[in-house]
A and B are shown apart, each in its own frame.
Chain A
């Protein structure tokens, strides 16, 4: 019976197969060179997994961007194609994905990722392969120290923290605060920086507590904070923790001001927090409140157009993550105009970007600045009656 032969033969058969295929492959000659009929730009985004609320809007923006730029004829007649992979919010998968995009798909640059961990896992590959990486994550370590191949579009965590501290000092005029942060990288990094920069604003951190990303009852930590002389509470984390904290605070009857991070800059926070979300203040890009951008300016025009197009295609409002994605596409294609098909020249041209009007803000890069934006692109937003309004910040 044939089956019995397999007992010994399977490995041999498989080997024979591969030898045969190898010979065929060589026989095929060198790799067929395809004509360059479009610019390929890769993307590694977290469209599933915990960071999906970040990755999905980013992907939507890029699809919209691709549509719009190609409708206008592309870049000097050459169309643009985004090839987007999902890293499932996993650093290891992000590294595999960027490898594949660079080596298999031969992309000119890679956008990604949505979260700091995945971005950091991709960076060594970008450096090794000398391909530009433009990320949509805000973690400070990504560009400090500057990695010559990695850029970012969002305002950094540092900028958000500076904004918060300015608000605490100038508007609320407090001198003692408590910090309650998520134990993940975003929360811990933010809390560390807050703590080290606060004294520079004359503010003392009298309590620092943390919670787990999936925790939903922070009354224990809040009870401890209630005992301290803290005049304001800074909460640094992403949904749903901060929403639970808002509810817990209401439950415990705590009335000190709640300052959140840019991690709650989405309508989800209001939805989850309900009435408890009112009064919460957080830093975010001006794009969330278009009226905070001077009317008639190029920036305002860009925001309004993007907002309308996004709403038309997807039926959703834009948020900061959609902006990060769009701007990443913008920065790369803007530099492509000057650089053409050359990945190294592309990086150089990105570094020469000056006052490019995006959605998150106006971008200027340099060999020592791969962040692009600055603090003035941010505002403090207050939630009033379930809607966003600009909080007075001096």
Chain B
């Protein structure tokens, strides 16, 4: 995400977007309105994967850490939204902001207390601490909210919008809108603000960056806060469609990660392309094959991409292989 505008990347970005469009056209041609429905559903769920993937990318770019708890940020966002909007009855925008802020603070807190201490530790150590964090968050959520799913009211009602034989719930448009907004904001932040550009510098070369006065630790803190906020917001937006529960974070995290790998870790447009592609492919798989194997697709893609094309569509090879 922080090296968005290398020339070769630009080519790959357009290339993969073109590929995705081609796939969509083929589906439409072959399957007609059923295909359109699949695409609509696929893009909705894909946008969520994209947002989660962006969270992974932000943290990875600045700290080279894979945050296994990313999915839990989304889960917490949804659960907190339930508490504030549905239970406490606060107006939606206010509840949204409060929930996002709480989760962001959690992310920042974790970064300060745990991640910073382990800066010089082995990869395994860091992996385990984020796994521990995800277990912890999930368990706390279960303790507070119980194990049953909860319902959150859709932002603008449930009446589906129908066009050309496909039906889309209004909440989906919120999802698309937010994803687009997030990408735009990310672009502006990382390319037009000093802090953002500083973070890109740290990602590219931490030593050189600190030589010119960019603080690595602040960069890390901001990355974690932003990723937590993104995750929480994603979880809130999708909750009316998905039902929030203490255990939704796991799958979301895994699939979001698969999307990030597909698009190339460390690339925001990559996260979006990866997420949308995964969402659409997954929905088609459920439609075409025995639907039990749907989840296997994400993991299969994950492994295939890692082995054959580890930099994903838009990433960098040397981070991945020996």
Contacts and interface: CB of A to CB of B under 8 A. Distances in A.
Interface in B19-61: 34, 37-38, 41, 44-45
Contacts of A217: 41, 44-45, 241-242, 283
B41 A48 contact: no
A223 B151 CA distance: 24
A175 interface: no
B119 interface: no
A215 B293 CA distance: 12
Interface string A179-223: 000010000000000000000000000000111101111011101
Contacts of B243: 216, 240, 243-244, 272
A239 interface: yes
B147 A220 contact: no
A272 B158 CA distance: 13
Q: Is the interface of B mostly helix, strand, loop or mixed?
A: helix
A211 B290 CA distance: 9
B272 to A, nearest CB: 19
Among B147, B242, B251, residue most surrounded by chain A Cβ atoms (within 10 Å): B147
Interface in A234-264: 239-240, 243-244, 247, 250-253
Contacts of A215: 294
A223 B37 contact: yes
B151 A272 contact: yes
A220 B290 contact: no
A220 B291 contact: yes
Contact of A49 (B38, B147, B245): B147
Nearest to B37: A223
Interface string B244-279: 010110010000000000000000000000000000
Contacts of A268: 148-149
Contacts of B295: 212
Interface in B265-321: 283-284, 286-287, 290-292, 294-295
B37 A212 contact: no
A375 interface: no
Contacts of B116: none
A50 B44 contact: no
A9 interface: no
Interface string B125-157: 000000000000000001000111101000000
Contact of A220 (B151, B251, B286, B292): B286
Contacts of A223: 34, 37-38, 287
B167 interface: yes
A227 B34 contact: yes
A196 to B, nearest CB: 18
A275 B243 CA distance: 15
A274 B37 CA distance: 23
Contact of A221 (B44, B158, B160, B287): B287
A216 B168 CA distance: 14
Nearest to B33: A223
A214 B247 contact: yes
Interface residues of B, number: 34
Nearest to B247: A214
Contacts of A183: 291-292
A53 interface: yes
B182 interface: no
B162 interface: yes
B149 A251 contact: no
Interface in B70-114: none
A224 interface: yes
Contacts of A298: none
A52 interface: yes
A48 B142 contact: yes
Interface in A337-352: none
Given A212-B295, A216-B243, A221 B286 contact: yes
A148 B290 CA distance: 38
A67 interface: no
A44 B227 CA distance: 41
B195 to A, nearest CB: 36
Contacts of B183: none
B158 A274 contact: yes
A275 B37 CA distance: 22
A315 B158 CA distance: 32
Given A220-B38, A243-B243, A250 B160 contact: yes
A123 to B, nearest CB: 25
Contact of A50 (B147, B168, B169): B147
A105 interface: no
Given A210-B292, A251-B169, A253-B162, A53 B148 contact: yes
A238 to B, nearest CB: 11
A268 B142 CA distance: 17
Contacts of A212: 292, 294-295
B248 A221 contact: no
Given A220-B37, A223-B287, 19 more contacts: A50-B147, A52-B146, A183-B292, A210-B290, A212-B295, A214-B251, A217-B44, A217-B45, A217-B242, A221-B287, A223-B38, A224-B34, A224-B287, A240-B245, A250-B158, A252-B167, A268-B149, A271-B151, A272-B149
29 contacts: A48-B142, A50-B147, A52-B146, A52-B148, A53-B148, A212-B294, A214-B247, A214-B248, A215-B294, A217-B45, A217-B283, A219-B283, A220-B283, A220-B286, A220-B287, A220-B291, A221-B286, A223-B37, A223-B38, A240-B243, A244-B243, A251-B168, A252-B160, A252-B167, A253-B167, A268-B148, A268-B149, A271-B151, A272-B149
Interface of A: 48-50, 52-53, 183, 209-212, 214-217, 219-221, 223-224, 227, 239-240, 243-244, 247, 250-253, 268, 271-272, 274-275
| Shortest Cβ-Cβ A-B pairs, 5 listed | A220-B286, A220-B287, A216-B242, A52-B147, A240-B149
